[in-house]
Chains A and B, each alone.
Chain A
Amino acid sequence: MTSLYEKVGGDAAVNAAVDIFYRKVLKDDRIKRFFDDVDMAKQAAKQKAFLTMAMGGPNTYTGADMRKGHAHLVTRGLNDSHFDAVVEDLGATLKELKVPQELINEIAALCETTRKDVLGK
């Protein structure tokens, strides 16, 4: 059976998505303040890791990693509305790249499974 990651286009699809997605995030007034003081190159690498994971690609992230990685943002007010904004920006990115809607839905559902950990609930 072909995995979600393979169906989307694997590493090449992730590379194509990183620039578009990260530019959307940095321009998104709802969430851009969370990215204000981070190094661009490191952040781009993290976005790539995030997109790889979101598209069901190889990753070793655990719920605990997600909690730890976002705890400092939760203290700065990260909540459900910001999580939704990121998922929305991701959806718009994939749409721009002509990924079929049913795959976008699958990806959004995969993101959803991390919500509690990301928001430290």
Chain B
Amino acid sequence: MAKIRYSGQVHESRHGESVLECLTAHGVSVPSSCHAGVCQSCMMRVVQGRVPAAAQSGLKPAHVAKGFFLACICRPDEDVEVAFIDEALQKFPAEVVEISPLNSDIVRVRLRPRQPLDYSPGQFIRLYKGPGVSRFYSLASVPKLHHEDIHIHVRKMPNGLVSGWIHETLHAGELVDISESLGECFYLSGHPEQGLLLMGTGCGLAPLYGIILDALTHGHQGAVRLYHGSVNTAGLYLIEELSALSEAFPNFEYVPCVSGDEAPPQGFAPGMVLDVAMARHPDLSGWRVYLCGNPDMVSTGKREAFLAGASMGEIFADPFLPASSAAACQ
């Protein structure tokens, strides 16, 4: 009988019982849906011991290499220690190089990890304030341009435990702990002609900015369209940088959107980011779509992009974020 260790507790798995069944029987809530190894909602990570190869069937090689497995079809034949994917992250220190304002409530934090971080722009990391206190932040930097430094955008939240600390207390030169990178929301080279539609609100721009820089520096040939929205002009940021990019790269177009009452300046589109973008892109067959920011915008946007013809597998939004969090930047 194999023992399954989770979060310091050891559970005996009865003969033929899956990790999902065993943990659920002991009161651990594991997200799951199909119970047949198909939907991957119960993906976990083995941190000690080995799981049978069958428990990793259908997973990407990168996931297999990291010890990810599907709890619903995993019947271990040896003792294992398991964790949820975002709990089992490797942690290492990074130096704060610079904190600079992007607008009145968003700062860019430049971090230099003490060991090189292997990441794709648009993925996210966990940043730890202390034991048990951490937040996810998306990566807006690109290894090609920013070398070993990584950039995150942090919006100051009312009473934000971590964002307040970053805005008010943290200084250049200090060390913080960060995790390895996570997430599927990034640029994939190999389809240089494909159209890319990126829609974001607020600091949801961070991963999109990383993805755009990554695509353009990879020599992406297809259309790259960014719609970034806020209630007013003051809520937008990186306007000059994005405008300069659109001049340098003819296939990149930047459309800032303002949904509030103010009359938008020249070159800005009035309205909600999703309405503006979808009106201009009624047919998204063959496009890849990225959505980041306000959760309602993201979930409505996924549906609208899909109904407009984008394939489900070509619609990307950060999947590991808790449902209540708006974007990996707050």
B326 to chain A, nearest CB (A): 16
A25 to chain B, nearest CB (A): 11
Which of chain A's residues have a CB closer than 8 A to the CB of B303?
Answer: 26, 40
- In the complex, the answer to whether A60 meets B35 with C-beta atoms within 8 Å is yes
Assess whether B53 is interfacial by the CB under 8 Å rule: no
Assess whether A13 is interfacial by the CB under 8 Å rule: no
Which of chain B's residues have a CB closer than 8 A to the CB of A41?
Answer: 302, 312, 319
Assess whether B194 is interfacial by the CB under 8 Å rule: no
Which of chain A's residues have a CB closer than 8 A to the CB of B36?
Answer: 49, 52, 58-61
Within 8 Å by CB of A49, from B34, B299, B302, lies B34
Bound complex: CA A52 to CA B34 (Å): 11
Contact with B along A5-22 (1 / 0, CB 8 A): 000000000000011001
Within 8 Å by CB of B38, from A39, A42, A52, A65, lies A52
- In the complex, the answer to whether B307 meets A44 with C-beta atoms within 8 Å is no
Assess whether B311 is interfacial by the CB under 8 Å rule: yes
The range of chain A's interface size is: 20 to 34
Which of chain B's residues have a CB closer than 8 A to the CB of A22?
Answer: 306, 312
Which of chain B's residues have a CB closer than 8 A to the CB of A61?
Answer: 35-36
Say yes or no: A42-B39 contact (C-beta < 8 A), given A18-B312, A19-B312, A49-B33.
Answer: yes
Q: For chain B, residues 197 to 220, give those with C-beta under 8 angstroms from any C-beta of chain A.
A: none
Assess whether A27 is interfacial by the CB under 8 Å rule: yes
Assess whether A23 is interfacial by the CB under 8 Å rule: yes
Contact with A along B23-40 (1 / 0, CB 8 A): 000000000011110111
Within 8 Å by CB of B40, from A45, A52, A58, A60, lies A45
Assess whether A46 is interfacial by the CB under 8 Å rule: yes
Q: For chain B, residues 303 to 326, give those with C-beta under 8 angstroms from any C-beta of chain A.
A: 303, 306-307, 311-313, 315, 319
B67 to chain A, nearest CB (A): 22
Bound complex: CA A23 to CA B307 (Å): 6
Q: For chain B, residues 10 to 59, give those with C-beta under 8 angstroms from any C-beta of chain A.
A: 33-36, 38-41
A67 to chain B, nearest CB (A): 15
Say yes or no: A46-B34 contact (C-beta < 8 A), given A18-B312, A40-B299, A41-B319.
Answer: yes
- In the complex, the answer to whether A48 meets B307 with C-beta atoms within 8 Å is no
Which of chain B's residues have a CB closer than 8 A to the CB of A60?
Answer: 35-36
- In the complex, the answer to whether B35 meets A45 with C-beta atoms within 8 Å is no
A73 to chain B, nearest CB (A): 15
- In the complex, the answer to whether A40 meets B307 with C-beta atoms within 8 Å is no
A12 to chain B, nearest CB (A): 12
Given contacts A19-B311, A41-B312, A60-B35, 12 further A-B contacts (CB under 8 A): A19-B306, A27-B307, A40-B303, A41-B319, A42-B41, A46-B39, A49-B36, A52-B36, A52-B38, A59-B34, A61-B36, A65-B35
Q: Which 7 A-B pairs have the closest CB atoms?
A: A45-B39, A49-B34, A40-B302, A49-B38, A44-B312, A59-B36, A19-B311
Q: What are 8 sample pairs from A and B whose C-beta atoms fall under 8 A apart?
A: A22-B306, A23-B306, A39-B299, A40-B312, A41-B302, A41-B312, A41-B319, A65-B35
